[in-house]
Structure 1
Amino acid sequence: MTAGWLHHLIIAPVLLPLAAGASMLLFDERRRALKATISLVSAILLLGIAVTLMGMADAAAPAASVYLLGNWPAPFGIVLVLDRLSALMLVLTSVLAIASLVFALARWQRMGPHFHTIFQLLLMGLNGAFLTGDLFNLFVFFEVLLASSYGLVLHGSGPTRVKAGLHYIAFNLAASALFLIGVSLLYGVTGTLNMADLAQRIPLVAPEDRMLLEAGAAILGIAFLVKAGVWPLSFWLPPAYAAAAAPVAAIFAILSKVGIYILMRLSLLFFGEGGGASAGFGSQWLLFGGMATIAFGLIGVLASQAMGRLAGYSVLVSSGTLLAAIGLDNAAITSGALFYMVSSTLAIAAFFLLIELVERGQDTAANVLAVTMEAYGDEYEDAVDEEVGLAIPATLAILGACFAVCGILLIGLPPFSGFIAKFLLIASIFNPAGLGKPADISLSDWTLVTLIILSGLSAMIAMTRTGIRTFWASLEGKVPRVLVIEVAPVASLLFLCLLLTIQAGPAMRYMEAVSQSLYAPQGYIDSVLGAPRVAGEEGEGGR
C-alpha cells in the first residue's frame, strides 16, 4: 500500500470533525458565528473528502484500501478500511450534515450550549463506525456517536423532548451493554476482533464452541437491531425522533442506517457462503423481523396525526424494508436495497426539516379541531369561518411543493427516486437471478412485496390527509415566517433525489458493484490481512 498523501485521506473523516469539535471548545459560547463557520467548513470539507474517497474506493475495487494506525499490521493493530460501501455511507453522512448545519444556522444552534461541538463529535463517531475494520473500535466509535446523540436529542430542552430523550438514552445504553457481551463472547471463541480475521476463523471454530459463537453473534446482532429500530425493539424511535430539534432529527435519519450497515457488513462477511457450518446464520430472523417492522411502521404511519410521528414511523418502514432485503441474501436484491437506502434517507431527512417549517404556522388547538371534524363530519363545520378567494402566499406554495415531493418519495410514485428504488426491489425479489431466468417465488417473497406496496399505500393515505389539513383546509390563516437558509437545505435534499432519478443508471451500477463486493468478501479479507506496513517509518509498529 502506498504512503501517498491521498492514502492519508482515509483517516481524515475521523480526525477532521474531532479537530473541529475540539477547537470550538476554546471559544466562548457567545461566538456563535465563528463556531458555525468552523462547523460548516468542516462539513463541506468532509463532503469533498468523502467524494474523493469514493473515487479511490471505486478505482481500487475489488480490493479495499487499508490504513494501518501506528503502522501495526492486522490483525494486531487498529485498521481503517475503505471500500465502496463505506465510501457511500461517508458521502451520505456528509450530505445530511451540511443540510442539517445550514438549517440550524437560522435559530437552532442558539437553543443550547455546544451544539456544533457535539454535532462534530457525532460525525466523528459515524465516520469511524463506517471505516473501522475491527469490532473493538466499532464499539468505541459506536459509543462516541451515541454519547453525542444523547446531547443532541436533548438540545433545546422542553418536557416532551426530555422525556423522549431519556427513553432514548436508557434503551441505547442497554444496547451498548449487549454490544459488549456479544463482542466478549466472539473474542472468547475466536481470539480476535479484527473483522477480516474473524471471517477466516469462524468457519474453523470447533463444533462444541459453535453454539457459543452463534450466541455471541446473536447478542451482537440484537444491539445493532435496536439501533436499526426493528420491531418489537422500536417503540423508543418515533417519539425520540419526533421530539428532537429539526436539524437533529434530520441527521438522525442516518443513525438507524448505522445498524443496517453493520448488519449488512458482518452478516455477509462472517456468515456468507464461506461461513462454514454457520453460513446463513440469522438471515431468516432478519427477513421476518424486517417484515414485522414494515407492518408495525405502516400501521404507525396510518395512525399518526402529528407529522413528526409520521416521519418517525417512516424511518421504521425504511429500516424494515432494508432488513428484510438483507435477510433474503441475494446480491441483486441487496443492490436495490442500497439504492432504496440512499433515496429514503434523503427523503426522510428533508421531511424532518420541512415539518418544523410547516408546523411553525400551526396551532395545536386547531389541529385537534381538524381531527374532530374528520371524525364527526359536518357537526363541527359551522365553528370555522369559511374563507373564499384568498391567494396562496408564496411561502405556503413553496412549502406545499416540498411537502408534495416528500410525499411522492415516501410513497414511491414516479418520477422520483422512491419509485425507482421500490421498483428495483420488487423486480429483484421476483427475479433474483436476472432477466430470462424465472425464479420460484416463496410465500415470504410474496409477503414482503405485499408489505412494500402496502407501506406505499399507507404513506399515500397519511400524507394526503396531512397535506389537506395543512395546506388546503387549514383552520387558520397564519403564514409561517420562513428564511431562505431554512428552505434551501430541504430543496437541496429533494433535488438530490431528483438527481438520483436522472442518474439512476450510473447510481445503480455503483450499487451493483457494492453488492457484488459484499457477496465476494475475499478481496476485503486479503486486503486487510495482507496490507503491508509503510517502509521507512519509525514508531512502535515500524520496528
Structure 2
Amino acid sequence: MGFSQHLLILPILLPMAAGAILLLIEERRHGVKAGINIVATALLLVLACGLLRLADTGDAAGDAMTHTYRLGDWAPPFGIVLVLDRLSALMLVLASVLAAAALVFSLARWHKAGPHFHTLFQFLLMGVNGAFLTGDLFNLFVFFEVLLAASYGLMLHGSGTFRVRAGLHYIAINLAASLLFLIGVSLIYGVTGTLNMADLATRIPDVAAENQALLAAGAAILGIAFLVKAGMWPLCFWLPSAYMAASAPAAALFAILSKVGFYVLLRLTLLLFGEGAGPLAGLGSQVLLIGGMATIAFGAFGVLASQSLGRLAGYSILVSSGTLLAAVGLGDHAVVSGAMFYVVTSTLTVSALFLMIELVERAQEPGANLLTVTMEAYGDDIEPEAEDEEEVGVALPGALAILGICFGCIGLLLAGLPPLSGFIGKFALINAIFNPDGLGSATGGPDSIGWILTALLILSGLAALLAMMRTGIRTFWAPLEVIVPRVLVVEIVPIILLIGLCFLLTIQAGTVMRYTDDAAQALHEPRSYIEGVLPGPGQTSGVSTP
C-alpha cells in the first residue's frame, strides 16, 4: 500500500481527532477552539483537493482507477474498506468548501451562541466524509448516525422556541429514517450474506428467484431512508421548516446533508442495480424519476408561495433535490454527468443564500415581509400628495450595495440564467435529455417524460427568478424603511467566495464537465470499482468479478 493510499483515512481521522481535542477544552475558551477548528477545516480542504487530484489520475492504460484503503489490512468483503473515486472525491471537496465558508461566517457570533459548536462541527464533517468514502453498507449506517447525531446538536444551536420545535421534528423524522435504514440493511444482508458494496454487485445477479422479492423490499426500505434525507416529495415536509429554523452557518452546512442522500442513491442505483443486475436491473428508477419530478413541482410552488427568505431557501433545496433524483432515475450517462455539475453549483448557491438570509434580514424591520404582503393585497393609506413629498434618490449605503449585488448573483444562479454556472448545469441536463445515450424515443429525441422534466426545469427556474425578484424589490429597491445593516468582513467574505466559486465554475466549465463525464462513465462501468475493492478471482471473496 503506497503512501497516497493512506490519505484516504485522513478525511475521517482529522475531524475525529479535532472534535475529540475540542471536547476537552473549556467551553469559555472560544478563541482557542475556533483556532483549532479553523486549522482542522483548512487542512481538510487541502486534503480534499489533493484527493480530487489523486482520483482524477488513471492507470498506465489511461483507465479510471479506484483507490482503496483496507483498515487493519483485512481483505474485503470481510474487512472494512474505504473507497475513493471521482464521485466521492468531488463530494469531499464540496463538503470541505461549505464547511470552510460556514465556519468563517460563524466566527462573527454564532460559534459563541451555544455549547460545543466546534466539536459538533467537526464530528458532522467526520460523518459526512465517512459516508462519501465507505465501501460497505454497515459502515455507511455508522457514519450516517454520526453525522445525524452531530446535526441534531447544530440544529438546536442557538436555542429559541421555533428552533427547538423544528429541531425536535427534525430529530424524530431522522430517527425514523435511521430505523428504516437498519431494517433495509438487515434484509439485504439476510439475502446476500454481505454488505460490501462491490461484493453485493457481484452477488445480486445470482440471487435465487424466491429471494429476489425480499432483496427488492430491503433495497426499497433502504432507499426510503435516503429519500427522506434527500427530501423527495412527499417525504420532504420537514425540510423547509427545519432548515429555516437552523442558524445561518448550520443551515449553510446542512445544504450538503441532502446531497448525501443523492450520493448514496446514485452510487447504489448504478453499482447494485445497473445493467448487470439481472432481473433486478433498474430497480426503483421509475420511482426516482417520477418522485423527482413531483419534488421539483412541489419545490417550485413552495418557492413562489414563500414570503420569508428562509423558507424560500428551504424550498430551493427541494427543487435541487428533485432535479438530482430525476437525473438518477433517468440513469443516462450524459444526464448523470450534468447532474454532478449541477449538484456542485446548486449546493454552493443555496449555501450562500442561507448565509445571506441573516444579513438581509438586518436591513428589514421585524415583520416587514408580512406588512408588505398586506399592503400588496389591500393597498396603503398614503395620500398621493404625501408620496410626492417623499425624499427621492437616497444614496445607497455601501453595505446595502454589496448585499444587493450578492443577492442578485444568487438569484441569477438559482434561476439558471446565462451565462453563470446555474445555467450551464441546467443546460447540460436538458441537452442530455434531448440527446440521450439509450433513453428516449427511437429517433433519439426525448419521450413525454423527457419533455415534462425539461418543462419543470425551466419553470422551476422561472419560479426562483420571480421569488428572488419579489424579495429583492422589497429589501433593496423599495423597502418600507431603509436600514443600513451592520455587516462584518467575516460574514460577507464567505458569501462572496461561494459566489466566486460559481463564477469560477462558469469559466472552467469545460474542465469540470470533462471531470464529471469521466466520473459518470466510471459509474456506468462499475468493473473498475469492483476490481479495485475485491481481491482477485478465487481468493478471499469467493465470488468472481464480472
Q: Which of 436, 449, 463 is equivalent to 1:432? A: 436
Match of 1:504?
A: 509
**Alpha-carbon distance in structure 1 between the residues aligned to 2:313 and 2:167:** 17
Match of 2:139?
A: 137
Q: Which of 351, 358, 369 is equivalent to 2:371? A: 369
The secondary structure found in structure 1 opposite 2:363 is coil
Contact 2:333–2:437 at 8 Å: present in 1 too?
no
Match of 1:38?
A: 36
Instruction: Note the alpha carbon deviations across 1:283-325, whole angstroms, 9 max, x for none.
Output: 0000000000001000000000000000000000000000001
Q: Which of 346, 349, 365 is equivalent to 2:348? A: 346
Match of 2:237?
A: 235
2:470 matches 1:458? no
Match of 1:173?
A: 175
The secondary structure found in structure 1 opposite 2:55 is helix
Instruction: Note the alpha carbon deviations across 1:301-353, whole angstroms, 9 max, x for none.
Output: 00000000000000000000000011011000100011000000000000000
Q: Which runs of 4+ in 1 moved over 4 A?
A: 378-385
**Alpha-carbon distance in structure 1 between the residues aligned to 2:290 and 2:161:** 36
Contact 1:135–1:194 at 8 Å: present in 2 too?
yes
Instruction: Note the alpha carbon deviations across 1:443-475, whole angstroms, 9 max, x for none.
Output: 111110000001001001100000000001111
- Taking a change above 3 Å as real, the CA distance of residues 531 and 357 of structure 1, as seen in their structure-2 partners, is farther
**Alpha-carbon distance in structure 2 between the residues aligned to 1:209 and 1:477:** 67
Q: Which of 265, 280, 283 is equivalent to 1:278? A: 280
**Alpha-carbon distance in structure 2 between the residues aligned to 1:6 and 1:210:** 40
Q: Deviation of residue 142 (structure 1)? A: 0.1
Query: Residue type matched to 2:14 in 1?
Result: L
Instruction: Note the alpha carbon deviations across 1:27-67, whole angstroms, 9 max, x for none.
Output: 11111111101101111101111111111111145231110
2:207 matches 1:202? no
The secondary structure found in structure 2 opposite 1:150 is helix
Q: Deviation of residue 366 (structure 1)? A: 2.5
TM-score w.r.t. structure 2 length?
Answer: 0.95
2:18 matches 1:8? no
**Alpha-carbon distance in structure 2 between the residues aligned to 1:351 and 1:386:** 32
The secondary structure found in structure 1 opposite 2:234 is coil
Query: Residue type matched to 1:163 in 2?
Result: R
Instruction: Note the alpha carbon deviations across 1:102-140, whole angstroms, 9 max, x for none.
Output: 000000001000100000000000000000000000000
**Alpha-carbon distance in structure 1 between the residues aligned to 2:370 and 2:98:** 33
Query: Residue type matched to 1:427 in 2?
Result: N
Q: Deviation of residue 229 (structure 1)? A: 0.2
Query: Residue type matched to 2:182 in 1?
Result: L
Q: Deviation of residue 439 (structure 1)? A: 1.1
- Taking a change above 3 Å as real, the CA distance of residues 288 and 379 of structure 1, as seen in their structure-2 partners, is farther
**Alpha-carbon distance in structure 1 between the residues aligned to 2:114 and 2:383:** 42
**Alpha-carbon distance in structure 2 between the residues aligned to 1:194 and 1:369:** 56
Q: Deviation of residue 433 (structure 1)? A: 3.2
**Alpha-carbon distance in structure 2 between the residues aligned to 1:530 and 1:361:** 60
2:92 matches 1:90? yes
Match of 2:22?
A: 24
Q: Deviation of residue 264 (structure 1)? A: 0.0
Query: Residue type matched to 2:431 in 1?
Result: A
Deviates more, 1:445-454 or 1:374-383: 374-383
**Alpha-carbon distance in structure 2 between the residues aligned to 1:466 and 1:256:** 25
Contact 1:64–1:81 at 8 Å: present in 2 too?
yes
Q: Deviation of residue 365 (structure 1)? A: 2.8
Aligned length: 528
Q: Which of 407, 411, 423 is equivalent to 2:411? A: 407
Q: Deviation of residue 476 (structure 1)? A: 1.5
**Alpha-carbon distance in structure 1 between the residues aligned to 2:205 and 2:180:** 24
**Alpha-carbon distance in structure 1 between the residues aligned to 2:254 and 2:159:** 17
Q: Deviation of residue 270 (structure 1)? A: 0.6
**Alpha-carbon distance in structure 2 between the residues aligned to 1:211 and 1:429:** 31
- Taking a change above 3 Å as real, the CA distance of residues 381 and 29 of structure 1, as seen in their structure-2 partners, is farther
**Alpha-carbon distance in structure 2 between the residues aligned to 1:38 and 1:491:** 24
Q: Pairwise mapping of residues 386-397 of structure 1 onto structure 2 (< 5 A)?
A: 386-397=390-401
Q: Pairwise mapping of residues 55-66 of structure 1 onto structure 2 (< 5 A)?
A: 55-60=53-58, 62-66=64-68
2:519 matches 1:514? yes
TM-score w.r.t. structure 1 length?
Answer: 0.95
Q: Which of 319, 340, 361 is equivalent to 1:317? A: 319
The secondary structure found in structure 2 opposite 1:81 is strand
**Alpha-carbon distance in structure 1 between the residues aligned to 2:256 and 2:391:** 42
The secondary structure found in structure 1 opposite 2:377 is helix
**Alpha-carbon distance in structure 2 between the residues aligned to 1:478 and 1:531:** 68
Contact 2:57–2:65 at 8 Å: present in 1 too?
no
Match of 1:104?
A: 106
**Alpha-carbon distance in structure 2 between the residues aligned to 1:157 and 1:173:** 21
The secondary structure found in structure 2 opposite 1:6 is helix
Q: Pairwise mapping of residues 65-80 of structure 1 onto structure 2 (< 5 A)?
A: 65-80=67-82
Instruction: Note the alpha carbon deviations across 1:222-270, whole angstroms, 9 max, x for none.
Output: 0000000000000100000011000000000100000000000000001
Instruction: Note the alpha carbon deviations across 1:482-511, whole angstroms, 9 max, x for none.
Output: 001100000000000000000000000000
Query: Residue type matched to 1:287 in 2?
Result: L
Q: Deviation of residue 531 (structure 1)? A: 7.8
Q: Pairwise mapping of residues 42-57 of structure 1 onto structure 2 (< 5 A)?
A: 42-57=40-55
Q: Pairwise mapping of residues 152-163 of structure 1 onto structure 2 (< 5 A)?
A: 152-163=154-165
Return 5+ residue gaps in structure 1 as ranges: 533-543
Match of 2:249?
A: 247
Q: Deviation of residue 387 (structure 1)? A: 3.5
Q: Deviation of residue 369 (structure 1)? A: 1.4
Deviates more, 1:425-434 or 1:307-316: 425-434
Query: Residue type matched to 1:414 in 2?
Result: P
Match of 2:184?
A: 182
**Alpha-carbon distance in structure 2 between the residues aligned to 1:479 and 1:531:** 66
**Alpha-carbon distance in structure 2 between the residues aligned to 1:313 and 1:84:** 29
Contact 1:373–1:381 at 8 Å: present in 2 too?
no
Contact 1:366–1:476 at 8 Å: present in 2 too?
no
Q: Calculate percent identity across the aligned residue pairs.
A: 67
